[in-house]
C-alpha cells in the first residue's frame, strides 16, 4: 500500500508541475519571440505491494525548448525586425552577461543606444553597442543598420544549433549553459523589416495538454484518497480494543 501512496503522490506532483509549464506557455502566447516549453518525463519504479496503479511512475524530469519559429506579424516600425529561419539576436545585460533572443522589438534610449524593449544593449557584429545619431534609422533584410542613408553597422545574429545548449532567462531571453562553446555568427541572415515574430505557442495544443493534465491529476487524487481511506480503516481496525 505504501508504494501505491508514494506513486499517486508523485503522480500528482508531476501533473502539477506540468500544469505550471502549460499555464506559463498559455500566459505568454502574446509575448514576442517566446518559445514554448515542452515538459518531458522519466519513469521511476516503486516496489509493488498490491494491485495499485503506478508500479512504473512517470515523473517530470525537466523541460525542453520548442525552437520552431513563430509566425510573422507586420508592425511597420523601422526598428522592428523578425528573423526568418534560424538565428538569434545577441544582447548584453547590465552585468555584461551575453544573452540571446528572437524578440527584435528594438528601441533607442536616452543615450542614443539601440536597446531591447527591456533596456538591454543590442550588440553589432563586432560585439559593440550601437549608438544611433541622425534623424532616420532603418534595417535592411540582411541586418544592416542605415542611418540618414549611410551604412552604420550590422546586427550580430548567431546560430545555436543544439537547443539543449541554452536555458531560458525569463520569458524572452536565453543564455548558454556553462561550458558550451560560443555560437557562430551567421554571415547571411534573413530578416523581415517592420515586423516581429509571434510566440510559437499553439493554443489548441496547450489547451489539450491542460485538460489531459487536469484529468490525470484528478485520477491520481482519487487513487490517493482511496489508499489513504483504506490505510485509515486498517489502522483503526488494528487499534487495541478497550478491556
Three-class SS state of 101 = strand
The predicted structure's pLDDT at residue 239:
60
Beta bridge partners of 36: none
Beta bridge partners of 129: 123
The predicted structure's pLDDT at residue 5:
66
The predicted structure's pLDDT at residue 158:
97
How large is the C-alpha radius of gyration of the chain?
Answer: 25
The predicted structure's pLDDT at residue 190:
96
Residues 6+ apart with CB under 8 A from 180: 165, 166
Closest CA to 13 of 211, 208, 224, 204: 224
Asked if 206 and 25 count as a contact pair (C-beta separation under 8 A), the reply is yes
Closest CA to 130 of 183, 91, 97: 91
For 27-71, write each residue's pLDDT tens digit. 999 999 999 999 876 665 555 545 444 456 666 667 889 999 999
The predicted structure's pLDDT at residue 51:
45
Three-class SS state of 38 = strand
Between β-strands 106-108 and 137-139, what pairing exists: parallel, antiparallel or unpaired? unpaired
- 35: which DSSP letter? -
The predicted structure's pLDDT at residue 163:
82
Residues 6+ apart with CB under 8 A from 192: 72, 81, 82, 84, 141
The predicted structure's pLDDT at residue 52:
46
Three-class SS state of 79 = coil
The predicted structure's pLDDT at residue 15:
82
Question: pTM for the whole thing?
Answer: 0.80
Q: Which residues of the chain have pLDDT under 50?
A: 49, 51-54
Give ∠ CA 23-28-34 in degrees, rounded to 5: 125
Rounded to whole angstroms, the Cα distance separating 183 from 125 reads: 13
The predicted structure's pLDDT at residue 220:
74
What is each CA distance from 153 to 24, 170, 181, 217, in whole angstroms?
37, 28, 25, 53
Q: What are 116's three cell numbers?
A: 531591447
Main-chain phi, psi angles of 106, to 5 degrees: -100, 155
The predicted structure's pLDDT at residue 128:
97
Amino acid at each position: 500500500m505504501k508504494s501505491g501512496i508514494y506513486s499517486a503522490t508523485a503522480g500528482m506532483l508531476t501533473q502539477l508541475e506540468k500544469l505550471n509549464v502549460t499555464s506559463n506557455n498559455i500566459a505568454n502566447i502574446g509575448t514576442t519571440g517566446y518559445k514554448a516549453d515542452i515538459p518531458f518525463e522519466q519513469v521511476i519504479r516503486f516496489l509493488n505491494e498490491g494491485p495499485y496503479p503506478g508500479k512504473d511512475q512517470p515523473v517530470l524530469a525537466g523541460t525542453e525548448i520548442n525552437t520552431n519559429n513563430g509566425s510573422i506579424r507586420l508592425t511597420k516600425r523601422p526598428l522592428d525586425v523578425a528573423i526568418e529561419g534560424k538565428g538569434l539576436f545577441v544582447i548584453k545585460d547590465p552585468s555584461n552577461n551575453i544573452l540571446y533572443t528572437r524578440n527584435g522589438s528594438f528601441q533607442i534610449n536616452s543615450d542614443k543606444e539601440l536597446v531591447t524593449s527591456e533596456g538591454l544593449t543590442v550588440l553589432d557584429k563586432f560585439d559593440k553597442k550601437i549608438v544611433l545619431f541622425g534623424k532616420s534609422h532603418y534595417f535592411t533584410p540582411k541586418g544592416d543598420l542605415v542611418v540618414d542613408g549611410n551604412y552604420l553597422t550590422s546586427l550580430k545574429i548567431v546560430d545555436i544549433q543544439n537547443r539543449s545548449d541554452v536555458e531560458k532567462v525569463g520569458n524572452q531571453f536565453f543564455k548558454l549553459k556553462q561550458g558550451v562553446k560560443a555560437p557562430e555568427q551567421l554571415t547571411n541572415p534573413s530578416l523581415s523589416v517592420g515586423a516581429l515574430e509571434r510566440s510559437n505557442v499553439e493554443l489548441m495544443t496547450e489547451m489539450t495538454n491542460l485538460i489531459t493534465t487536469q484529468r490525470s491529476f484528478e485520477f491520481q487524487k482519487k487513487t490517493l484518497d482511496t489508499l489513504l481511506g483504506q490505510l485509515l480503516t486498517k489502522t483503526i481496525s488494528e487499534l487495541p480494543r478497550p478491556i
